[in-house]
Structure 1
């Protein structure tokens, strides 16, 4: 994918600000900051970087907020800190673009997003197409690229990169800083409950550099997803769409109960004889059928190989999601908040 290096054509609109958040992003942050050079109101919020992120951002004339610990670092806490600093320095802002430090804004996005919000006062936020920078470098990057491709039109929630109306975000109290994952859909749900609408417009928004090159990185990311599903279902039990409780039940069945039963059958085969391998084999066939069902559904929009691999890894990932889901509920029952579930990414590439 081509690298975006030139300043964006967006004018220095005094109604738009940008909040960038990151930690040890390196070259990714450099690209992010460069892509926002057409904006006067910019804040970078750093969560304990040990590289030169803070010094480099300041050298570019960007306002930097360094989060202290305690409390724990969270993306939600960082976005709130950036949002508050922007409004302190630029009280006339009407819209704020949230962007992760591993992303780069696409040319023309800020104008398109602002125009959409100005045209419809019922919209609280808009977002566009986030693309993965190097989907060909790993299966996991390719999975991310497809994950970002949500339908154009009315949306149930937005992600980390959105342009949000200042009045709307202020009215709901911003993001929940206690959430270690799922803070974006949580904020989106609270906006919808307050009567606002969300929309994905047909425009390129950001280029993201996941740099997930190893299975262990992908596994940790899936674990974080399971934690998020659990907390969202717990916070919004009556929500019909997205129906997080259904997602949690799926994780419990395919990532918890199902593997436990298969392992039990195998143990029985060792203790009581090979006859117990038959139900284990039947369960394996059911699992494979589920993989094929998911892959067949994805085949409508993806090449056959990628569709089937996506189905396979989605099913494997249920186990990791189950770990994250269990981690959330253990923390809920014991009153101990979970730490961030991070995956260590590879270096940024040119």
Structure 2
């Protein structure tokens, strides 16, 4: 029986069209549930777990799992974006799925996403319906706000429309399309790597869809603690970097100047007794740190912007007019 199971696994590996990449960091308490859900998928696939130097026993959970996922263990924590980027260089299937380690897809999830890409060669990425424990929708794709934020859609777009982007917690992308637009921005660490990637796909003239039947339970923020100082630092920094890379120059300059102006005015507002939001992203030290990181990365970001523009099939202004504020 063991030999037959091994032979069946080898056949499935050869026929798989998708590598599912699960990036984990200290995921001992939840990554097993994610792997169980992948083992129950009704479409052959390869599972690659990127372990971001976990020190909590995650490695033992991965080694003991009956699904026997391939594990890429990194020497240090590179975040979700860095883990995806490291995995992409090893993927040899035509499709690659992004999946959070705290996500548990339903059995037909991968089949629904693959079928959506098969139905239209112009679609480069297919997003999922991410659901909370009570069944409510966390994300049905990503929209682009008028000031350049990525925001989760609370419900899928109409059947004749598309989202601006996909939520990176559970999505399927064509490997050739992803590599053609520069892959995943590894230095984002986490947050906005999906919206930045979607923006570059849009600039390349590729389409993105949400697949309603690709349903995924998601324990949002099991590792990253939304609302924390780290969360806001990554969120604010990466939004500005994304705009500098992808948005029209005037939009990027406006939003960077707005961020700097709000930062400069915070001490005066407090001195005058005027209200200041209590959220971590209105702490002066955090905002100054964000500005410092953005400015230190400016030469590399400008170079990336030029490269993105060189490969674009659609102008930045066209993408902005089509999607911003919708």
- TM-score between both structures, scaled by the size of structure 2: 0.68
The answer on 1:58 being equivalent to 2:51 is: no
Q: For residues 239 and 119 of structure 1, do their structure 2 counterparts lie closer, same or farther at Cα, with a shift above 3 Å needed?
A: farther
Which structure is larger by alpha-carbon Rg, 1 or 2?
1
Deviations 1:129-167 (A, max 9, x none): 11233799xxxx989x99463542422222222100122
Q: Which runs of 5+ in 2 are unaligned?
A: 1-11, 142-150, 300-326
Q: In the alignment, what sits opposite 1:169?
A: 178
Q: For residues 219 and 147 of structure 1, do their structure 2 counterparts lie closer, same or farther at Cα, with a shift above 3 Å needed?
A: farther
Q: In the alignment, what sits opposite 1:154?
A: 162
Equivalent pair of 1:32/1:104 in contact (CA under 8 Å):
yes
- 3-state secondary structure, aligned to 1:154: coil
* Aligned pair partner of 1:224 in 229, 234, 238: 234
Deviations 1:239-290 (A, max 9, x none): 79xx66666566556x535643431313xxxxxxxxxxxxx4xxx5xx8xxx
Equivalent pair of 1:227/1:321 in contact (CA under 8 Å):
no
**Whole-Å separation in 2 of the counterparts to 1:107 and 1:148:** 23
Matches within 5 A, 1:28-107: 28-37=30-39, 38=41, 39-60=44-65, 61-69=68-76, 73-87=78-92, 93-107=93-107
* Aligned pair partner of 1:17 in 16, 19, 33: 19
- 3-state secondary structure, aligned to 1:198: strand
* Aligned pair partner of 1:238 in 242, 245, 248: 248
Matches within 5 A, 1:100-119: 100-119=100-119
**Whole-Å separation in 2 of the counterparts to 1:124 and 1:114:** 11
- 3-state secondary structure, aligned to 2:32: helix
**Whole-Å separation in 1 of the counterparts to 2:187 and 2:265:** 32
**Whole-Å separation in 2 of the counterparts to 1:216 and 1:191:** 27
**Whole-Å separation in 2 of the counterparts to 1:47 and 1:84:** 16
Greater shift, 125-134 or 327-336, is seen at 327-336
Structure richer in helix, relative to its length: 1
Aligned residue pair count: 267
Equivalent pair of 2:22/2:98 in contact (CA under 8 Å):
yes
- 3-state secondary structure, aligned to 2:162: strand
Matches within 5 A, 1:200-279: 200-210=210-220, 217-238=227-248, 251=259, 256=263, 259-266=266-273
- 3-state secondary structure, aligned to 1:86: coil
- 3-state secondary structure, aligned to 1:97: strand
Equivalent pair of 1:44/1:64 in contact (CA under 8 Å):
yes
**Whole-Å separation in 2 of the counterparts to 1:185 and 1:131:** 19
Q: In the alignment, what sits opposite 1:330?
A: 292
Q: Which runs of 5+ in 1 are unaligned?
A: 1-11, 88-92, 267-279, 288-314, 338-350
Q: For residues 162 and 40 of structure 1, do their structure 2 counterparts lie closer, same or farther at Cα, with a shift above 3 Å needed?
A: closer
The answer on 1:178 being equivalent to 2:178 is: no
TM-align CA RMSD: 3.8
